[in-house]
Amino acid sequence: MSYTFVGLLGVFPDVGKHFRLPLNQAKKVLISTNDVPMIAIELLEARYNTVVNDINTKESLLAKVAGVNALFCSAKVKLDIDIINAAGAQLEMVGAMSAGLDNIDVEELKRRNIKISNTPGVLNAAVADIAVLLTLAAARRLREGRIHIENNTWTSNHKWMLGRDLKGSTVGIVGLGEIGQAIVKRLKGFEVSQFVYCGHREKLEGKELGAEFLTFDELLSQSDFVIASCPLTPETKEMFNETAFKKMKRTSVFVNIGRGGLVDQTGLIKALREDTIFAAGLDVMVPEPLSSDHELVKLPNCFLSPHLGTATYQTRSDMAKLTAQNIIAALSGEKLITPV
C-alpha cells in the first residue's frame, strides 16, 4: 500500500471500503476456527493480516493469538482468560459469531475495555424453525414412531402412537427475546390457544404478541408446551431440574433451543423415564457432541437434534458476515453494528 493511500485513509477512512484495498495490513485478525464461511474470511483478508486457526483447539488458538488486534470467535472454542492473556494488551475487539455469549468471558473483556459483538437477529428465523420442528417431533412421537418402523413393530390400532396437539394448547416461552418472539410468531399458525412467558420483566413485545406474563412456576404449571429460549447464565443454569419438571403437567412437552446447561439432565432423564412429562425435544445438550450411548439418546420420548439451530447455509453466512463487519467497524474506530 502506498504512503499516499495510507495518508488518505487517515483523512477519509471510508476510502478503503470503496476500493476494497487493505485498510491496515498492520492490524492482525485471528479467526478462531477453520469452518467459518468464506464471506467473512474474504472481508477480513481484504483489509487485515488475517490468520485462520487451522485446528479447532484451545492449544492451537493459544499458539496463534499473540499480537492480534481482533479475534473472530465461533462457538467451538471457549474464549477464556488464558486466551485473553495470551493475546496481549493490543487486543481491541472480539467478534462472536453467535447470539449466546456463555462461551466468552464477557466480564473480563469488558474490564479491559475490549469491544465485543455478537450476531443477534440474523439467526432468529433458523433457530425458531428448529424450535417448531422439535416441538412437533416430540409432541407427535416422531422418534418412537421411527424406532417402530425400524424394528418391524408398527401395529395398527386406534390408540397406537397418540401424541399431543398444539391446537388449543398453552405454550410457555421461557425467554421471550428475539428467538422466543420468532417462535411465537411461527406457532401462531398452529391455532395455539394461549401464549405465556416469563423473565425478569413484562415486555411490550409480549403484549404485541398477545402473550401473558407469568412467573416461572405459573408458566410451568399452566403450559402444555414449555420452550426454553433464554441465555445460559449463572442464574439460569439448570433451572429446568427435577423440581421444575415435577411442576409441569404430565402431558407436557419440554423443548430446549437455548443451551444444554439450562437443564439438569439427570432430572430430565428421570422425568422422561417416569412419565413426569410426556416428551422432550432438545437442540442443545451437555456435552456437545453427545455420545451415542448417552441416556438421552436411548429414550424413545426424547427427540434430539445436534445443535442445528443456526445450521443453514444462509444463516451461517449472514452470521459470519455480520461478525466480520463488526470487526471492521471496531478496527476502523466506527460504531459496532451489534455491540454487546
Instruction: Report whether 116 contacts 106 (CB < 8 A).
Output: yes
Q: Cell 478496527: give the residue.
A: 331
Nearest approach, Cβ of residue 205 and ligand NAP (Å)? 8
CB of 22 or CB of 100, closer to ligand NAP: 100
Question: Which residues share a beta bridge with 50?
Answer: 29
How does DSSP classify residue 290?
P
CB of 25 or CB of 243, closer to ligand NAP: 243
Nearest approach, Cβ of residue 231 and ligand NAP (Å)? 3
CB of 178 or CB of 264, closer to ligand NAP: 178
Nearest approach, Cβ of residue 232 and ligand NAP (Å)? 6
Number of other residues whose CB lies within 10 A of the CB of residue 180: 30
Task: Annotate 13-67 with DSSP letters as a single string.
Answer: TTHHHHHT--S-TTSEEEES-TT--HHHHHHHHTTSEEEE-SS-SHHHHHHH-TT
CA distance 1 to 31: 23
CA distance 80 to 97: 16
CB of 159 or CB of 201, closer to ligand NAP: 201
Q: Is 294 a catalytic residue?
A: no
Nearest approach, Cβ of residue 124 and ligand NAP (Å)? 7
Residue 145 in grid coordinates: 414412531
Instruction: Report whether 228 contacts 262 (CB < 8 A).
Output: yes
Burial (Cβ within 10 Å: 0-12, 13-18, ≥19) of residue 218: middle
Question: Which residues share a beta bridge with 196?
Answer: 172, 212
CA distance 266 to 202: 31
From the centroid of its chain, how far is CA 158?
40
CB of 65 or CB of 336, closer to ligand NAP: 336
Find all residues with CB under 8 Å of 113, minimum gap 6, and list them: none
Point out the residue whose Cβ comes nearest to ligand NAP: 177
Nearest approach, Cβ of residue 181 and ligand NAP (Å)? 8
Nearest approach, Cβ of residue 5 and ligand NAP (Å)? 40
Q: Which residues bind ligand NAP (CB under 6 A)?
A: 99-100, 120, 123, 127, 174-180, 198-201, 229-232, 235-236, 257-259, 283-284, 307, 309-310
Nearest approach, Cβ of residue 19 and ligand NAP (Å)? 35
Task: Annotate 136-151 with DSSP letters as a single string.
Answer: HHHHTTHHHHHHHHHT
Q: Which residues are catalytic?
A: 307
